[in-house]
Amino acid sequence: MDNQFWKNKKVFITGHTGFKGSWLCLLLYSLGAKITGYSLDPITKPNLFDDLNLKKFLVKDYRQDIENLNKLKKAIKDFNPSIIFHLAAQSSVLVSYENPLKTVSTNVLGTANVLETIKNTPSLKSAIIVTTDKVYLNLEKKKKFNENSKLGGYDLYSSSKAACDIISESYMNSFLSKKKCGLGIVRSGNCIGGGDWTKDRIIKDCVESFSKKKHLLIRSPNATRPWQHVLDPLCGYLNLAKKLYQNNKRYSGSWNFGPNKKNNLKVKEIAKIGRKIFKSKSKIFYGKKKYYESENLALDSSKSKKLLKWETKFFDKSALDLTFNWYKKYYDFKNKKELINLSFSQIELFKNKHSV
Ligand SMILES: NC(=O)c1ccc[n+]([C@@H]2O[C@H](COP(=O)([O-])OP(=O)(O)OC[C@H]3O[C@@H](n4cnc5c(N)ncnc54)[C@H](O)[C@@H]3O)[C@@H](O)[C@H]2O)c1
């Protein structure tokens, strides 16, 4: 990482109180950036944002709604950032079945509000819109999706994110390229890492069962995902944001940030690795899923590899080791300082592997 680029850069992050947003704040802080965050309160209790005391690393910590255009505009105008990362979202497939309209308004209207604000902010030179690997039309054919694959979405989370993708591209073509602000639409796979306490996510279910000596019930035991540690794609987003800042025309567009490998681990294999790390005797049971979720999903990230020299450095066993060990320490540690130090030390591992 080139520390000098990020030093004192003014960076605005939406969704900074979430799982990925919290790691992004810590990563940018470690590089010397000045960060302002704009989100609702953390969704879960516990949550990484409070556990790492992240408020103290921020210039300003807004707790407001991205659906409120005026408040969003005012927050960005007051801070005058040069780079923005948009992560705020209703981020769960299962919640999108229970609350489809809210998912659409937060994800689609919220993203349009962010784009409209970017359009009207002269100081911005680089913008990253975070969508997902689930934007691709998945016919379960076990083929890898590249940036030109057709977009779609069986569930409302996926389709709302695909809509974000399309709207972002329209804003880029219609307005942003003229004002010399680079725009990157980034799609990564399921991220793992310490501090994700979101309901129904496999790692959280595992660590709660193993630490409380309870049995574990998992849905979709045979589903595979491009599992990667959250810090791998985040380093890729930083790399891209820097390139967009320096050359908006060349790097604007959509980018995949997933592991380039043939076989992804199954959910049940992940649970078994976690059980071993926790030295747990909990039994693992397989249940039925309530709603449709895709079984196989894999990304072709050769564009990022070729043009950004980015690739996943920690996947499968190494990403799982870092993740389960973070949670193990979470249960062992007596104070927040130890957890913050552990998180910074994991960040250093990634900064040593990634270059920009
Ligand atoms: N976690 C993953 O594995 C993964 C994978 C691919 C893509 N993504 C995407 O990355 C982004 C971050 O994911 P995450 O896992 O950190 O999600 P998360 O649910 O942990 O965090 C979501 C964040 O958005 C904020 N938010 C939600 N609704 C809001 C609103 N109306 N106004 C303002 N803020 C609001 C929340 O307060 C929180 O800060 C999302 O856009 C998600 O779709 C996540």
Å from CA of 130 to ligand 1 middle: 9
Query: Is 117 within 8 Å of 80 (Cβ atoms)?
Result: no
* 328 found inside a domain: no
Percent of the chain exceeding pLDDT 70 equals 98
Index of the ligand 1 atom closest to the CA of residue 42 = 37
Q: Is 256 in the pocket of ligand 1 (CB under 6 A)?
A: no
The pLDDT assigned to 294 comes to: 72
As a three-state string, the secondary structure of 42-101 is CCCCCCHHHHCCHHHHCCEEEECCCCCHHHHHHHHHHHCCCEEEECCCCCCHHHHHHCHH
* 158 found inside a domain: yes
- The number of domains in the chain is 1
Q: Is 81 in the pocket of ligand 1 (CB under 6 A)?
A: no
Å from CA of 279 to ligand 1 middle: 32
For 292-333, what is each residue's pLDDT tens digit?
777 677 899 999 999 999 999 998 889 999 999 999 999 998
* 215 found inside a domain: no
* 217 found inside a domain: no
- Residues 290 and 239: their CA atoms lie apart, in Å, by 38
Q: Name the residue at shortest CA distance from atom 21 of ligand 1.
A: 18
* 234 found inside a domain: yes
Å from CA of 90 to ligand 1 middle: 6
* 9 found inside a domain: yes
Q: Name the residue at shortest CA distance from atom 12 of ligand 1.
A: 87
- Whether residue 335 has pLDDT greater than 90: no
- Here the CATH number for the domain that contains residue 305 is 3.40.50.720
The pLDDT assigned to 334 comes to: 79
- Residues 333 and 152: their CA atoms lie apart, in Å, by 44
- Residues 270 and 295: their CA atoms lie apart, in Å, by 15
- Whether residue 2 has pLDDT greater than 60: no
Look at residues 219, 262, 273 and name the one whose alpha carbon lies nearest to residue 93.
Answer: 219
* 244 found inside a domain: yes
Half-sphere exposure of 158 (CA within 13 A, CB side): 19
- What residue numbers bound the domain in which 32 lies? 3-191+229-259+297-314+336-353
Index of the ligand 1 atom closest to the CA of residue 133 = 6
Distances (CA, A) of 348 to 28, 57, 59, 147, 305: 12, 17, 23, 30, 21
* 275 found inside a domain: no
For 269-279, what is each residue's pLDDT tens digit?
999 999 999 99
Weakest mean pLDDT among 31-40, 76-85, 128-137, 140-149: 140-149
- Residues 157 and 111: their CA atoms lie apart, in Å, by 13
Q: Is 20 in the pocket of ligand 1 (CB under 6 A)?
A: yes
Q: Name the residue at shortest CA distance from atom 11 of ligand 1.
A: 87
Phi first, then psi: what are they for 310, rounded to 5°?
-105, 140
